Structure 1
Amino acid sequence: MINLNRNEKYLVAVSGGPDSIFLLNSVKNYEVIVCHVNYRFRSDSNNDQRIVEEFCSANQIKCEILNVECEYSNLKQNFEEFARETRYNFFNKIGIKYGIKNLLVAHNFNDLVETYIMQKRRQNNVDFFGLRSITTYKSLTIIRPMLNFLKSSILESLNSFNIEYANDLTNLDSKYLRNEIRSQLNEKDFENYYFQINKENKQLEKLKNEVKFYTLNNLSADELILQKKLTSFSQEKIQRILFYFLKTIKKDYLLQKRKNSTIKEIAWRLKTSNKPFWKIKLDDFFLIKDFDRLFLAPSTAFDFKTIIIKSQQDLYLAEEFVNWLEIFTTIKNDRERYPYVITNNYEVYKQTTFVEFVKTNRYLIDNKIRYRNRIYKAVVYKENELKILNKMTR
């Protein structure tokens, strides 16, 4: 029995398969609009559409259809990802069209268990094990009212009332992980799975709270402070801290569609590497470990600049650097004895210049001068003396 608020309107995602037809039959007396997507991916997809349209026609239900035109051989993402993105964008569009914010989706108890097993197999850092009864997508509230319904009871009900539904033969193809898992499951075991899923979700909630606490208490502007105790954390906890940090600074998209191996590599470096500095490329950024700090820098930050200032008329060139005012003051205090070199190319100047009477490379190491300062702040020295004039700060 599915109970909904009769004062609300609902979109219903209907593929034509048994689950969605069962859902539609259960809510047909509510104020609903059906959304069906025909991907034209299978040779019998038009039959699915026919079943949906005939059910809607017989029950006087408005039906919105999306016929997808796509050359699947040219698809750059996997079909399941493409299909999900396509249908939910369509649902959202129809929701806006009719001013409806609620979307009913026919996931059942079997789907919940299958999803949990897939999550465990793939070792993903999920936000929740199984399926939530309510989630959101853009302007839609997604409601799953059938998570306590067994697949066997759904089929039994449809067959007893002689309600037509489509059979998707790809559900039998064992090349898909979900289908492989499905073929090995027995509904008699679901109660044990349900107990295990609830137990793990409680443990997960505790872990997420610990991750949030660590991240927010070690956030300094756009940097994450790496406490020594971080190395004692589990690999999973570090991965979650990393992701939560990027989410907090609104850069989590850099990891969202990457392979798990990237996130695992970064977490492993954070846990095991004693190097004061390393960087990993993430799209147009570098994630940088800088002594006890972690931060993001645009890749353009490593486009180092070196400028020769030959006279007072050239001083404006120093404005390309973030610490240009300090450079102006330093040159003025040096009585403007041109020419000067201004550069942030620390890989070069550390080998050729001095700070006071110490080789710059030695000075940088002994004083633990942060790489962030080396990258963003330029140094200035007389071309013929090679002694850095401005102060290098940690």
Structure 2
Amino acid sequence: MQRFKINTSLSYLVGVSGGPDSMFMLNELIKMNVKDLVVCHVNYKFRNDSDNDQKIVEKFCEKNNLKLEKLVIEQDYSLLKENFESWARKIRYDFFVEVSKKHNIKNVLIAHNRNDLVETFLLQQERKSYVKHYGLNKTSMYKDLIIVRPMLNILKSEILVALKEEKVAYAVDSTNEDIKYKRNKIRAELSENSFNKIEKEINLLNSELEKISLQVDWYVNNNMSADELKINKNLQEKNLEFIQRTIYKWLEILKKDFIIQNRRNKTIFEIAKNIKVSEKVFWEINIGDFSIIKDYENLFLIKTEIIQPKTFVINSKQDLYLAEEFINWLDLVNAIKRNKENYPYVITNDFLKYKIDTYTFGKKTNRYLIDKKIRYKNRMLKAVVYSKRAMKILNTIK
């Protein structure tokens, strides 16, 4: 009997921890005669017996002639400052991405079961989490990977019975019994008899969420220009949940939603709140290697390193190569030549400083920037050049 359905003609990566769920799924895939499988195992060395998990996976793969990709982590966990589960998930899924490129396989099978679906929903409710889907979705994306969870209809109790009957070895994670973890506490208090009632609530909430998602999709699709999102009154008048979902959708389209997937909810809440209540024409929120920036009526995402302020003093013609650090370098060099190369000059994109120190067309540069509504994106990416003596900007700011 086929316990779950997948397209058996496709190739799959299979996330296998060595625990009962993933070993059950892998065993079923063998029985279904799925030909092109690559097993992916991560040994976090988090528990003293984690090598045993790896040996179980290795033995099964060897017996069934399966390709196996392993990642063994060497980490001093006393130095880990973030939540282990979130950290481990990123490590695991980034490993899947790496293996995906190596084997040119885009589909990843994950062994979440029906109990996981219900537990996840109850955890979401307890944490009052922002979610894209209540419970677990059968398919989702991580970067360019398609994550497939084919076992969401199968109870944990059914899995354990099948493993026993078919004599499939599996590892037991002792940390699953530690009720200091919220999920374990929920699991310990949960009965499979209550699942039907809980799943009805999940379906109802997801139905409402689908309606909101359609409105969010419409807004984003009609207010994106290139990679930027237009912020207008219609969005600002929406509630914070709608605005948060809009930001997520925008980042999904940019294929950059991974930058907030493992961060606390307060990050996306802070962005949404700024959109709703801040009257500033410019603000910046840093998210790891990226920054989300409000630029008048536009929102854009950029790598933080690209917009770092840089300043160079040009004392002679030999220093002109420094202008090449900026995308408008030719404009800068030509401005110096028009000024008859009367060194020294300063080249900088540090607009917070130069707008106070310099002059443009006979007025303070700050006033000029305000009057002309020069975009902050341009101020960050393009540099100005000014005479160090006269403090007058020589190129046109636009």
TM over 0.5: yes
CA offsets 1:114-147 (integer angstroms, 9 cap, x no match) = 1222233344443332223355779987654442
CA offsets 1:292-312 (integer angstroms, 9 cap, x no match) = 1222344343424365688x9
Sequence identity (%): 44
Q: Is the 8 A contact 1:36 1:52 kept in 2?
A: no
Instruction: Report the equivalent of 1:299.
Output: 305
Separation in 2, partners of 1:114, 1:319 = 55
Q: More displaced, 240-249 or 8-17?
A: 8-17
Q: 1:355 to 1:185 in 2, by over 3 A?
A: same
- Is 1:31 matched up with 2:37? no
How far did 1:23 drift?
Answer: 5.2
Q: More displaced, 250-259 or 196-205?
A: 250-259
Q: 1:379 to 1:164 in 2, by over 3 A?
A: closer
Instruction: Report the equivalent of 2:120.
Output: 115
Instruction: Report the equivalent of 2:370.
Output: 365
Matches within 5 A, 1:155-304: 155=160, 167-297=172-302, 298-304=304-310
CA RMSD, aligned part only?
Answer: 4.8
How far did 1:182 drift?
Answer: 0.9
Give the 3-state SS of the residue equivalent to 2:246 in structure 1. helix
Instruction: Report the equivalent of 2:155.
Output: 150
Q: With the length of structure 2 as denominator, give the TM-score of the two structures.
A: 0.72
Q: Is the 8 A contact 1:340 1:380 kept in 2?
A: no
Q: With the length of structure 1 as denominator, give the TM-score of the two structures.
A: 0.72
Q: Computing the radius of gyration over CA atoms, which structure comes out larger, 1 or 2?
A: 1
The AA in structure 2 aligned to 1:31 is N
The AA in structure 2 aligned to 1:254 is I
Instruction: Report the equivalent of 2:138.
Output: 133
Separation in 2, partners of 1:88, 1:380 = 42
Q: Is the 8 A contact 1:18 1:165 kept in 2?
A: yes
How far did 1:51 drift?
Answer: 7.6
Separation in 2, partners of 1:46, 1:134 = 30
Q: Is the 8 A contact 2:306 2:381 kept in 1?
A: no
Separation in 1, partners of 2:189, 2:65 = 38
CA offsets 1:253-278 (integer angstroms, 9 cap, x no match) = 43344333222222222221111212
Separation in 2, partners of 1:324, 1:174 = 60
Q: 1:151 to 1:374 in 2, by over 3 A?
A: closer
How far did 1:109 drift?
Answer: 1.8
Q: 1:44 to 1:36 in 2, by over 3 A?
A: farther
Q: 1:267 to 1:10 in 2, by over 3 A?
A: closer
Q: 1:197 to 1:324 in 2, by over 3 A?
A: same
Q: Is the 8 A contact 1:10 1:101 kept in 2?
A: yes
The AA in structure 2 aligned to 1:174 is I
Q: 1:207 to 1:156 in 2, by over 3 A?
A: same
The AA in structure 2 aligned to 1:289 is K
Instruction: Report the equivalent of 2:379.
Output: 374
The AA in structure 2 aligned to 1:244 is K
Q: Count residues in correspondence.
A: 388
Separation in 2, partners of 1:253, 1:6 = 27
Separation in 1, partners of 2:308, 2:147 = 44
Q: Is the 8 A contact 2:86 2:262 kept in 1?
A: no
Query: Which sections of structure 2, spanning at least 5 residues, go unmatched?
Result: none
How far did 1:31 drift?
Answer: 2.5
